[in-house]
Amino acid sequence: MKKSNKKEITRKEYNKRTTNSRGSNVRKVVQDIKKELHGFAKTRWGHLWVDRMLGYGRPFRMQRGIRYAQEERLSNITISPGMIFATVQGTAPTPYRVKVLFDTIPDDVWNQISMKIAEKAYYTIKLLENSIPEDFERIFEELGYDLFPNPTTKLNASCSCPDKEIPCKHIAATVLYVARVFDFDPFLLLKLRGKAREELLCTIKHARSCANEPISISVKKIRKMVNIAEKNFEVPILPAQEIDPSSFIQPKAPYQIGFRFTKPTSEINILETLNLAPNLEKPDQFYQVFRELYVAVSQKAYKMVKHLKE
């Protein structure tokens, strides 16, 4: 009886070890598959895309599409807001039609994103240079969104092939090949999320300046800012007894400091001397706005000086 019990325990241990061994082998295989899929992309943006797509699970099925992606069996790839479309040549004569859908970022959130980008000159310069900063995702995260699609549910995709499992190898090939597309042009990722590069730059430009507004509106804004400054700005007062001449005047050195202020005119000599910057998009509007601002500040400074003399 004891002998039988000993065999039973041994069998349980054997089954447990076999299960653990199989589980360990599966995990290793999955890691190898993910490494292979990850290596299909060439840049940071492509790698991050593959990582997110693997977040939907089913790495074995994703692996089935890598050969099709490597053989470039895809054609007619179209990336539009919220959708990727492609035709994939399988074993049948007619290519299969693949469609993958993603949620887009709402327009009001894009407006907030544009405002945040406009506040950082580094981001704006990078975007104008057709490059996306590496920490660009941080802006999206601050607003509770992701630059990349968030795989919280199953992949929303369809294919005209007989295999109804998601993803089939044609869907997998499409998703993987898009990583190479993002390697070449990461701005298409922004388009997939709802905002093309041109639209984003236009929104940022509007947020950074008043160039898109009529001159009269721009001038009114500047006048309002100057009026606010007139009410809030206080001239610092330094009592004469707090000044110790010995701390900044050399012995026997002449002590003559004087300023002469003239009443400002409508002429802007400094602007005529320096000339306008050569890369201004709308120099006439800039001159009008700058002239209004310069005159207002000059007049305000002159009034302050007159008040101090009195």
**Can you tell me the mean pLDDT for 301-306?**
80
Phi, psi of 16 (to 5 degrees): -65, -45
Count CA within 13 A, CB hemisphere, residue 197. 14
Which has the closest alpha carbon to 207: 127, 111, 276?
Answer: 111
At residue 267, the pLDDT reads 62
Each residue's pLDDT tens digit, 236-288: 554 555 555 555 455 555 555 555 667 766 666 666 555 666 666 677 777 77
Report pLDDT digits (tens) over 141-189: 999 999 998 877 788 999 999 988 888 989 999 998 999 899 899 999 9
Q: Left if phi > 0, otherwise alpha if psi is -120 to 50, otherwise beta: which for 144?
A: left
Does the pLDDT value for residue 104 go beyond 50? Answer: yes
